[in-house]
Structure 1
Amino acid sequence: MRDDLKRVKKKLSLTFAIAIIWTCAVFGLLYYLGIDLLSYYIEAGSCMIYYNEKPYIDEFQQYVSDNDISTTDVEQYDEWMSEHDVAFYSVQEMGKVIYNKSNVDKLISPAKNMYDYRFTGSYELPVQFSDIEAEVFIYTGFTEKYYIALMIFDVGFSLMMGIVFVYLRIRKIIAGYQTELEASQEQEKKARQEKDELMRNMAHDLRTPLTGLMTHIDIMKLENEVDEENQKYLDIVTDKVMDIKTQMDNLLDFSMASSEKNIELDKPIETEYAVGDYLSEMYAVLKERGYSIDINKLNWEKVKIAVNVGLISRIFANLTDNICKYADIDKPIVMETCFTKNNFKVKIGNGICDDKTLLESTGIGLKSVDMMMLRMNGNMSYSREHGKFWVKLEFPIVK
């Protein structure tokens, strides 16, 4: 797991590093190509400068004429330029600069040519001052918005390309690990199936010698009927063999419940017929063993549940064995049923022996019951309340 995380981190770090380089490369390429194309369009490919400058020149000519301004009246036409937010202007006579001034910082470097009187010579227009006619160029920053738009587009497009690259790389990494995970899950599933099959085969194989052993014990009991001492030891052996058989049954139940084989539920039937017969069988077995049983809260309603006969049979056989093993015979066994709007519940409680504790066992019996209930869309829970150990089985009611 740690190695997998290191591999993922390494791949992600490499992905982001390549994405940064890729984004910068795309940005640089688009920037220089865009600047060249935009500069060509502004400077040679259109009349943008002329159409933007002409209204200012006309208005400036009117101002000069109305106020009888000469080329030396710098303060007067400088005031007009400031009022009209002119970024740069130049006044020349016969190619000789009389005056030029920039009113803004040169933030957009590609537009700085507009502040260079050597570049603007071809865009100068004549203005008649009171002393001479001069060539004037007026620039109000009308090209900067195109360069700003180009920068915004370039940054946005470059980032988008970087994000797309990261997304595609991460998706490829996830797809690769998903393929590995599916292969691993398939391998685990196969191993689990083989393990379940092995457990079932072992349980079946062990049943044969256990059955033979029980037969020999029964024969020995008959042969030693008069020998109380031998009978005592044979009874102990019988109990231990039965314990082994019970554990084998639990192991088989657990294997069946935990397998991925589909469990089909039988046709929904009323609760009394789905569960009642098994409670009656449990009642008979426990009564025979000497337990007293309280069934005063055992009642039935005409609602239906869907169960699997094989699983429900094993559940109650398992619970019966647990009670016989761990319950206090001097305390009554309680069987209850209750109904809610959506569920049918069976509660079975038994007294707790001081010297026998169910929770100190392996617990495989209850785990098997829990898993078998889940396979039937129900659930099992247990608790200790008022000196009793309670097991609750909950089945969904079929509408």
Structure 2
Amino acid sequence: MARTTSKKDSIYFQLLRLLVISAFAAVLVFFVLNRAGDRLIENFYYNSDYEERKNESYIRKLQQYIDQNELSSRDADALKSWVQKQQIVSIRVNKDGMQVFDSVYPDQELWEEDIEANDYGWEVYYTVSFADGEARVSITGMYAYQFYNYAMLAELALSFVLFLLLVLFGIRSKMAYILKLSDEVEILEGGSLDYKITVKGKDELAALAEGLESMRLSFQELIRQEARMVQENQKIVTEMSHDLRTPVTSIMLYTEILKKGSYKGEGQWKEYVEKIDRKARRMKQLTDHLFEYSLTAGEEEVQLEEPETCETLFYDLFSETCSYLKQQGFEVSFQVEWPQSRLRISTDYVMRIMDNLTSNIMKYADTSMPVAVSAVEEGNMVGFLFENKVKKPEEETESNGIGIQSVKNMMAKMKGKCMTEQKGERFRVLLLFPGQTV
């Protein structure tokens, strides 16, 4: 039976756990990269002349723009337009000691307010030539933000790549296992049922692998059973051919003698007729056994009846069997303490089994010793043991084993067992049924 997968071992839970761990690792790496990136940018920006070079570059651009458009220091709209196009800079224009333009307040005409220019120590001023004379221009650029933005994008990209790699790496092992199972199924499809399916883990894939392995073992056992049945059938056919050949030959011999009249008197004639009759009856017994065997072997799974106690199921049947054997000259030792277990049987099968056993006892048992019947319990199985003494060699009757094989087939279909054993003159048949506690 396939295992039941717990929630914590399921593929869904494993995938969720993988996503959470990968996301946590990616976020952690992002923060580490972000801190490291910020420090690198700060070290580069404040320990180099990058800002100075960028300021000078934008001042040159501003001077070219002023020269091309012949702007005065009071052309606020034109200056505002240039600042907006640069996007990352702001400027302040001081002329004759007065602040005449500030890109932070581009819509105000500062020269009309007589705002005195204030020089801040941290600002750097550049001389720019306007149409109305030279002015001092202070420029402030947000150059570092570009680096921070680029670094942020790179950090996000690296963290996302790490997240994908961790997820793909975690999924890869499951995919490899799925591919391995696929390859192993192809091996089984090719007929190599001796190849064992790999069972790894505790999730749904492991349960599937266990199911495949159980199916492989079932197919393997089925093939072995079929091979045994074919071998048994061949053996039985061979034995039946031999057993039938002997009485047929005898019947033909005696018939030929009677046809030619090569007998001495009416007494010998009756003797030959009786021999022909015995041989014919022997042939009928053989064909009856063969029919019983083929009927049992060809039947589908038997429908078992509702559980009943052993005494309820077998009391009447044993009473009839013992009475019949006593009528035929056998002594029966019936020492049965009825087990308390309940059994599920097929009454039709059990009656046919008892008929076969009774027939075997009558043909092969010695009447000088009693037939012993006793109850047996082995583990969770209960049943009955039949024991008798076989006939002496001069009284031995040929046996082809079809009757016992039919009993074994019927017991197997009832999930039971039939075991036979012969030690010297003692022959034993053990019938076991799976029991249920009352």
Structure label with greater radius of gyration:
2
State the TM-score, normalizing by the size of structure 2: 0.41
